[in-house]
Chain A
Amino acid sequence: DQQVKQNSPSLSVQEGRISILNCDYTNSMFDYFLWYKKYPAEGPTFLISISSIKDKNEDGRFTVFLNKSAKHLSLHIVPSQPGDSAVYFCAASSNEKLTFGTGTRLTIIP
């Protein structure tokens, strides 16, 4: 049973435009959410996070939005740059464990 779902395996966005990556979760006990970015042949690296008591967290070009009632979060990247091309994993935390989604491959088109 996949508790964290990323329903879009891939996404292509024009350079300069906004990239929106989505994530849904089923466990209402999750209290912290994170996004990780992964380049080929490398391990995932932390990008941005949000506590369940907030609905928005912004860090430069990256903003994460949390909608608890819908059990949905999204990552906005604006403006998108070629270096943003990577696989993005959504993760949720409860009881000291991180549960990851299946990832979305983002391709930024120059």
Chain B
Amino acid sequence: DAGVIQSPRHEVTEMGQEVTLRCKPISGHNSLFWYRQTMMRGLELLIYFNNNVPIDDSGMPEDRFSAKMPNASFSTLKIQPSEPRDSAVYFCASSLSHRVLTGNTIYFGEGSWLTVV
């Protein structure tokens, strides 16, 4: 089975440019999560969707960040305009349910490495 697929794997962009990160969750999974990894804060939850509906976006740092899930097999995280402090690894993850129950785990993609110069 294919896991969570993210693109691009690496992105280098100039400050002020728009960045779009893409994610294809595991087929059949109902929940999708966007995380950001930094040295200082570890893995931070930015937003998560259940059945394509955003449930909690309280982790989105600023209005420059937005996320969409137009269908069950695709999601985007957009940063516009990008800033150097946005440089991080962005992970997409999916799960059968957004409820963390015994035996239910979240499966992560390989991440998108973003560098804003």
Contacts and interface: CB of A to CB of B under 8 A. Distances in A.
Interface in A1-48: 2, 4, 6, 32, 34, 36, 41-46
B111 interface: yes
B21 to A, nearest CB: 14
Interface size class of A (residues with CB under 8 A): 20 to 34
B75 to A, nearest CB: 15
B102 A43 contact: no
Given A44-B108, A93-B100, A98 B91 contact: no
B40 interface: yes
B55 to A, nearest CB: 8
A46 B42 contact: no
B101 to A, nearest CB: 8
B64 interface: no
A98 B100 contact: yes
Contacts of B91: 43-44
A43 B42 contact: no
A100 B42 contact: yes
A100 B111 contact: no
A4 to B, nearest CB: 8
B44 A43 contact: no
B108 A43 contact: yes
B56 interface: yes
B17 interface: no
B100 A96 contact: yes
Interface string B25-45: 000000001010001111111
Interface of A: 2, 4, 6, 32, 34, 36, 41-46, 49, 51, 89, 91, 93, 96-103
Given A36-B108, A98-B100, A103-B43, 9 more contacts: A4-B42, A32-B101, A32-B102, A41-B110, A49-B105, A89-B42, A96-B100, A100-B43, A102-B39
Interface of B: 4, 33, 35, 39-45, 48, 55-56, 91, 93, 98-102, 105-111
The 3 closest A-B pairs by CB, nearest first: A43-B108, A102-B42, A100-B43
